[in-house]
Structure 1
Amino acid sequence: MPPLTSLHPALERHDFSAILETINREVRERFGEGEVADYIPKLASVPIDRFGMALVTLDGQVHCAGDAREPFSIQSIAKVHGLTLALDVAGAELFDRVGREPSGVSYNSLVQLEFEQGIPRNPMINAGALVVADIILSHYERPREVLLEFMRARSGNPGVGFDPEVFASEKETGFRNAALANFLRSFGNIHNDIEAVLDFYYSQCSLRMDCVDLARSMLYLADGGFCPVSDTQVTRADRAKRINAVMLTCGTYDAAGDFAFHVGLPAKSGVGGGIVAVVPKVMSLCVWSPGLDTRGNSLLGGHALHRFTEITGLSVF
């Protein structure tokens, strides 16, 4: 493999620490914008005046700014890692049960699911992630432990774990997710016990990580399925390509078009305020700011990634 600097001259040309600090200062001037995810009680208590950003290059350089080392609830970001696990046991047959098209509607929509006969549009919306969770439960004896081991290995942090308070908060208020799971079951697209599927889904959403850990956990998608943190081929290169494609077109819900327009990177958001992004063959990034826009994506996190690609020119376009 040639030196990374020859793969992309930006790695040599830019002072990433200085760029992240510039973005950090700009974002902090806008604190207060957006709304925290108050429909999950535990997330409603997270201070809105937080911002962290981290990037990790394939050769191991780490640059971060702000609250990049403050752990937070990763929420739907875990759908990426869950999809990786499911693809490796189900292969292309996974897409017989879940599509790969942008939804164009809210991430927890019931209407679209009924119209399309119980086949969720993609694995990044809640209904699709519930089907992925069902596939994982069908193939792994200890799914929570498998996911946890996967996240610890990808991030290089053995301290990564589930937040029991977030799990309980999600379970107590997850009526729409329960409705989605039962609706999927009515179409024959959930095979396992509904409560077991929901518990796994809430578990993955309750994972607690910081920006550096999350950026590291995405490196395998920047390098054809190879994880430089654990020196392991995590998934096949063609599957990594497909996961990146789904993130680009579906990873920020019904704002995926706007996000591609302004940022231009495969990415996945979570209602905890995190967004991860991938620059293929170069690096992975994570931003965190709890204030969300009307579509459930971090408002200032999205702006930070826009500024990063604007300053550096690092984009897939």
Structure 2
Amino acid sequence: MAELQTIVNEIHQALLPRLGEGKVADYIPQLARVDPKKFGIAVIDIHGRVYKAGDCDEPFSIQSVSKVFTLTLALGKHGETTWNRVGREPSGSAFNSIVQLEHENGKPRNPFINAGAIAISDLVMSGHTPREAIGEIVRFVQYLADDETIAIDPDVARSETATGYRNFALANFMKSFGKLDHAVDHVLGVYFHQCALAMSCTQLARAALFLANNGKNPLTGHTVVSSQRARRINALMLTCGHYDGSGDFAYHVGLPGKSGVGGGIMAVAPGRASVAVWSPGLNQVGNSLLGSVALEMLAARTGWSIFGTQH
């Protein structure tokens, strides 16, 4: 499908004059150092063909994109009982809001806001030390991407730990409601390290392929999750994957996706391909500004929106 490479090249070219738009996340000091003019895109179809452009092979901090992988792990360990800990509804408030958590007795609205992902980290820790849980997460992502070079950026992990006061508050709050099994600092250690995973667009698109292919990685032949679970993870990404910009993203792009404040967005065209984009400048709700534009252009040009083609 040579035209897909043409589309990817044209999106890259169209966005070159706009590089640097948006605001780089500066509340995590290490992220504030990233060059705002970076832009990468990688598309991998379910036959394993790769189409990419720009800074697509440069690792960046995936941040909240990691929440999809830890949710997949938690579901593997705990199945449907996972939903006793976190809900499945869009939050409609900021990704680090404490107000909603108080209102709903310490049960986070969904696994993709910070409180929800902290609760998921607690579930992933079951029977593990923090170090073992972090190792399991890294190995799982390496397995998904079929790439043993993927690692955690220790500087980002340290930077997050030093400035993560809001996350400490959320975790302590949930602990007070009896919603966390493990010590708060242990759970947050796991959470901060998973957010500090560094991956390139190509690696990220590869790791998401199982979600585009009914739960099975088409490159390795490994079944990661059942087709039903893959569908449900995709549904959650569509409704909750972009904080309080999730509805807008569904409206403009129409693909399940998960964003992170490092400027990455991982998206899935079920039955067709997985996509990763990276541009560090964020919009008002904390999603990559040019990454969102690139995915909107891709969905329009390919007709991949799950809501039907655009005419």
CA drift at 1:311: 1.0
Give distance in 1, aligned partners of 2:178 and 2:281: 37
Give distance in 2, aligned partners of 1:129 and 1:32: 29
Give distance in 2, aligned partners of 1:229 and 1:107: 34
Give distance in 2, aligned partners of 1:162 and 1:231: 26
CA drift at 1:225: 1.1
Amino acid at match of 2:301: I
Select 1:205's aligned residue among 172, 186, 195: 195
* Residue 28 (structure 2) pairs with residue 40 (structure 1): yes
Matching of residues 78-97 of structure 1 within 5 Å: 78-97=66-85
Amino acid at match of 1:73: S
Q: Count how many residue pairs are aligned between Structure 1 and Structure 2.
A: 305
* Residue 101 (structure 2) pairs with residue 113 (structure 1): yes
Find the counterpart in structure 2 of residue 315 from structure 1. 305
Give distance in 1, aligned partners of 2:16 and 2:261: 20
TM-score, scaled to structure 2: 0.96
Find the counterpart in structure 1 of residue 50 from structure 2. 62
Q: Is the 8 A contact 2:89 2:110 kept in 1?
A: yes
Find the counterpart in structure 1 of residue 219 from structure 2. 229
Give distance in 2, aligned partners of 1:125 and 1:59: 32
Amino acid at match of 2:159: S
Deviations 1:152-187 (CA, angstroms, capped at 9, x unpaired): 111121100000000000000000000000000011
* Residue 257 (structure 2) pairs with residue 271 (structure 1): no
- Structure 1 unaligned regions, length at least 5: 1-11
Select 1:288's aligned residue among 272, 278, 291: 278
Q: Is the 8 A contact 2:20 2:38 kept in 1?
A: no
Deviations 1:14-49 (CA, angstroms, capped at 9, x unpaired): 611111111111111112211000000000000100
Partner SS state of residue 22, structure 2: coil
CA drift at 1:139: 4.4
CA drift at 1:229: 3.2
Q: Is the 8 A contact 2:47 2:219 kept in 1?
A: no
Amino acid at match of 1:246: L
Select 1:254's aligned residue among 244, 250, 255: 244
RMSD, aligned α-carbons: 1.0
Q: Is the 8 A contact 1:221 1:244 kept in 2?
A: yes
Give distance in 2, aligned partners of 1:296 and 1:237: 30
Deviations 1:46-103 (CA, angstroms, capped at 9, x unpaired): 0100100001011110000001011100000000000000001111111111000000
Find the counterpart in structure 1 of residue 291 from structure 2. 301
Give distance in 1, aligned partners of 2:210 and 2:275: 12
- Structure 2 unaligned regions, length at least 5: none
Give distance in 1, aligned partners of 2:111 and 2:120: 7
Q: Is the 8 A contact 1:269 1:276 kept in 2?
A: yes
Q: Structure 1 stretch 138-147 or stretch 257-266: which is displaced more?
A: 138-147
Select 1:155's aligned residue among 140, 145, 149: 145
Identical columns (%): 50
* Residue 87 (structure 2) pairs with residue 99 (structure 1): yes
Partner SS state of residue 126, structure 2: helix
Q: Is the 8 A contact 1:155 1:229 kept in 2?
A: no
CA drift at 1:230: 2.9
Amino acid at match of 2:10: T
TM-score, scaled to structure 1: 0.95
Q: Is the 8 A contact 2:24 2:31 kept in 1?
A: yes
Amino acid at match of 2:136: V
